[in-house]
Chains A and B, each alone.
Chain A
């Protein structure tokens, strides 16, 4: 009895840990969506680039992914803001179809670039400062997963604090609520949009850096995360950072429980069913604006 209970508990907690990463990826996605109503299909590629940044830091200069993490975040922030200024700025008023295909094109572009520059091979980072296992109350956890989960909580918390407690964060929230009114109040809306893309990309990049210590790195790795991130954003409520956090944990649990009960091949199908149920039955999500 206790053995199977332990397995269940272990499964649930591993779901929570991966769910925290999903939450961090979704935080960036939901912010971009909330501020400018654009779905970023290239979001998984920000994560992929964060993983490669960690990998090259480690492979070329033997720098641990945990040490290069701030630099990874900065690079991704710059990339996100640059993409906004070069591409996204031009399609804010374009038909939805153009918006979808623009970010979709960016997704393919980054995958192609990664293949071209770094080959389609699977790569891993071994012997980082976070390795080994931690035993706790009869349960065992990989240290990389624990650190990644903890890091995701901290970063999500910082983003939430930034939005709630700083002037710049308030300006971002105001832009999300009403662009025209925000512009009339003297907020530079273009700057806010770029900021949302920068923070969004940085969150995904940090998630990639945290994952890089225990997850294989390859050009298509973002595909594993983007659909799950969409579901998380919908469940949390489009545009809600706090919602994305709790939704990420729920999606992580649903995924591992589904894999446990139905078999791992149905994990994604179950998570996608959750998306359909949410948008059809509770479109505002857990904490979204109705």
Chain B
């Protein structure tokens, strides 16, 4: 029995890793539990609103990650899908009185059609060329909507102030239902990403990203899987757009379709870690925290201080931590946590 009492180093290391997995699962459950009871913990509406903002941008970031992270097709025009979601459900509500829940699905559908229509020609473009094409398309869409009077033009559209109710997707008295809806959307989006990551799609996406030539040579139809990635990503992004419209009860091209929003969506994923499940959520937490902190410290925009801090953060992460916080954490795990947990295994009899 000497091997049982004195495990060799590799076994110790692997048991450290398995302990880490258990620890991570417990931590994950704790985070979800915390998210579920958060509305009863926050002190006031503005704190709850802050939590909703984090979840909204996190949801969009996780959706972006399916295309930009897993499949490696960098989109800087995701606000187009967000705007399509917001405008489709709003217009269906205003013209036909359709429930925003159905409008949300319709918005997702329209976004998928739009995504396939632009993906079909643009997926032959590589790297920078594709990224710049997505900026161009989103800008063109924004210009068209800005000048389209039927959609409210540059002024925007106010949604009817309906009575509070789940079917009508309006909550006047308390913002708590909005919190749970956006939390549900985020969990749905994470769930979809998780399924994709684990399925054959995840392998194909990663093959497209890392070894496109090898993937093609073994017969993977690259364009087909890129189209699947953009369809899933655009659908989930558009759901967030409808949520935004119902929460704000006002939409305009500047707030739902601007390139700055596209950049922010991509940025939370990059900050947290591209191609990881939880990265965009962590990125959203940090980015929103920094935005709020600079706003509180330096007061409002216009002075430029908030932009400077935001910019230094972006440059710092892009230059020094290209794999984001997730990459930094993985390093930490390998170097420090795993050996430590493994060491503890040895000590316990």
Contact = CB atoms under 8 A, between A and B. Distances in A.
Interface stretch (A19-27, A124-132, A271-279): A271-279
B267 interface: yes
A39 B76 CA distance: 14
A39 B128 contact: yes
Interface string A92-107: 0011111111101111
Contacts of A98: 270, 318-319, 322
A104 to B, nearest CB: 7
A102 B319 CA distance: 7
A142 interface: no
Interface in A37-94: 37, 39, 87, 90-91, 94
A112 B313 CA distance: 13
Nearest to B122: A280
A15 B129 CA distance: 26
A164 interface: no
Contact of A97 (B135, B146, B274, B315): B274
Interface in B118-140: 121-122, 124-125, 127-129, 131-133, 135-137, 139-140
Contacts of B267: 101
Nearest to A101: B318
| Interface majority SS (helix, strand, loop, mixed), chain A | helix
A101 B74 CA distance: 11
Contacts of B135: 227
A96 to B, nearest CB: 5
B311 interface: yes
Nearest to B128: A39
A105 B132 contact: no
B294 to A, nearest CB: 10
Given A112-B308, A116-B305, A227-B139, A39 B132 contact: yes
B147 interface: yes
A263 B144 CA distance: 12
Contacts of A275: 132-133, 136
A266 B318 contact: no
Contact of A109 (B76, B121, B127, B308): B308
A114 B304 contact: yes
Contacts of B319: 87, 90-91, 94, 98, 102
B173 interface: no
Interface string B130-163: 0111011101100110110000000000000000
B308 A113 contact: yes
B101 interface: no
A269 B304 contact: no
B36 interface: no
Given A39-B132, A96-B74, A280-B121, A112 B139 contact: no
B146 A105 contact: no
Interface string B12-35: 000000000000000000000000
A10 to B, nearest CB: 26
A150 interface: no
Nearest to B309: A112
B143 A269 contact: yes
B314 interface: yes
Contacts of A117: 304
A105 B311 contact: yes
A104 B302 contact: no
B42 interface: no
A266 B129 contact: no
B312 interface: yes
B124 to A, nearest CB: 8
A263 B146 CA distance: 13
Given A94-B319, A108-B307, A276-B133, 15 more contacts: A91-B319, A97-B318, A99-B318, A100-B131, A101-B315, A101-B317, A102-B315, A102-B319, A105-B312, A105-B318, A112-B311, A115-B302, A120-B302, A231-B136, A269-B140
28 contacts: A90-B319, A96-B128, A97-B266, A97-B274, A100-B76, A101-B266, A101-B267, A101-B270, A101-B314, A101-B315, A102-B318, A105-B314, A109-B307, A109-B308, A111-B307, A112-B304, A112-B308, A115-B303, A116-B305, A227-B135, A227-B136, A227-B139, A266-B143, A269-B144, A273-B140, A275-B132, A279-B125, A280-B121
Closest 7 CB pairs of A and B: A112-B307, A115-B304, A105-B314, A109-B311, A116-B304, A105-B315, A108-B311
Interface of B: 68, 74, 76, 121-122, 124-125, 127-129, 131-133, 135-137, 139-140, 143-144, 146-147, 263, 266-267, 270, 274, 302-308, 310-315, 317-320, 322
